[in-house]
């Protein structure tokens, strides 16, 4: 009886190890695919004609990327959008505004990496509702984590359309605010369209928008690193 129990425990332990090994192998495969797909350009600057005279920025914190746009420029004024939330309205005259898209659970409940849990990861990556993060920006300075790119007005309009198409609208045609939800820096969250899932992450959303703007972007950019690698150094001049 004792030997049978030991053998049963050993078999269960062995199955557990196999499951862990398979999970780690699958995760490693996804990471490799993300790196390879991010290195394969899919789109080019020639996709949007016209003189390149609108400067945009891409910001990365190592995990997540944002698109940083001029608050007013190229016939687009973002101040009315900033005015819809009492959290962003005081900063509506900031020269830039950053947009990010992501899972509602991770975006609004994950304050630091210490808050990360298996349950939060599973909920966030399993077709969670999406939100658009809006952050007025007072100043920008390019570097490894913030790169500038000059695109055409046609490309900028396509990028604006990408951001606007990601916003869920109410019956009056206005954005839907998540009341009181903020990171405490004059930012706000708006209800997003579409669902967040593992293969369409926040960084994939940024890549889609930049590709529409005419920039050469990797085929699939689920990681911030793969997106920034595919973008290259950006414009050399500091702004």
pLDDT value, residue 40: 53
pLDDT value, residue 202: 93
Question: In whole angstroms, what is the distance from residue 102 CA to residue 203 CA?
Answer: 9
CA angle 53, 231, 60 (to 5 degrees): 100
pLDDT value, residue 108: 74
The rounded mean pLDDT for the chain is: 80
- Residue closest to 56 by CA, chosen among 35, 77, 70: 70
pLDDT value, residue 236: 52
Query: Helix, strand, or coil here: 28?
Result: helix
pLDDT value, residue 13: 44
Write b or e for each residue in 121-157: b if 16 or more Cβ atoms lie within 10 A of its Cβ, otherwise e. Answer: eebbbeebebbbbbbbbeebebeeebbbbbbbbbbbb
Residue 50 has pLDDT above 80, yes or no: no
pLDDT tens digit string along 166-176? 999 999 999 99
Contact, 230 vs 217, CB < 8 A? Answer: yes
Q: How much is the average pLDDT of 27-43? A: 52
Question: In whole angstroms, what is the distance from residue 145 CA to residue 74 CA?
Answer: 25
Record the pTM: 0.80
Domain ranges of the chain: 40-231
pLDDT value, residue 105: 82
pLDDT value, residue 234: 84
Map tokens 């150094």 to a residue: 233
Q: How much is the average pLDDT of 1-6? A: 52
Contact, 135 vs 66, CB < 8 A? Answer: yes
pLDDT tens digit string along 120-165? 555 556 668 899 999 999 999 888 899 999 999 999 999 999 999 9
Rounded to the nearest 5 percent, the helix, strand and coil shares of the chain are 40, 25, 35
Q: How much is the average pLDDT of 181-210? A: 92
Question: In whole angstroms, what is the distance from residue 219 CA to residue 226 CA?
Answer: 10
The residue ranking higher by pLDDT, 26 or 188, is 188
The residue ranking higher by pLDDT, 15 or 20, is 15
């Amino acid at each position: 009886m004792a030997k049978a129990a030991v053998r049963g425990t050993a078999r269960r332990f062995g199955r557990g190890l196999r499951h862990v090994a398979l999970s780690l192998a699958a995760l490693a495969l996804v990471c490799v695919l993300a790196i390879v797909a991010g290195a394969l350009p899919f789109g080019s600057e020639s996709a949007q004609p016209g003189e390149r005279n609108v400067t945009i920025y891409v910001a990365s914190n190592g995990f997540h990327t944002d698109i940083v746009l001029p608050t007013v420029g190229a016939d687009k004024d973002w101040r009315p959008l900033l005015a819809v939330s009492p959290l962003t309205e005081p900063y509506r005259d900031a020269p830039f505004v950053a947009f990010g898209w992501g899972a509602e659970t991770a975006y609004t409940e994950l304050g630091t990496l210490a808050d990360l849990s298996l349950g939060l990861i599973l909920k966030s990556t399993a077709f969670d509702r999406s939100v658009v993060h809006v952050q007025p920006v007072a100043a920008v300075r390019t570097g490894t984590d913030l790169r500038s790119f000059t695109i055409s007005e046609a490309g900028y309009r396509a990028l604006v359309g990408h951001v606007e198409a990601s916003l869920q609208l109410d019956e009056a045609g206005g954005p839907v605010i998540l009341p009181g939800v903020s990171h405490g820096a004059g930012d706000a969250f708006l209800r997003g369209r579409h669902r967040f899932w593992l293969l369409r992450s926040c960084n994939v959303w940024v890549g889609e928008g930049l590709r529409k703007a005419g920039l050469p972007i990797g085929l699939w950019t689920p990681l911030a690193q793969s997106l920034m690698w595919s973008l290259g150094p950006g414009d050399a001049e500091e702004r």
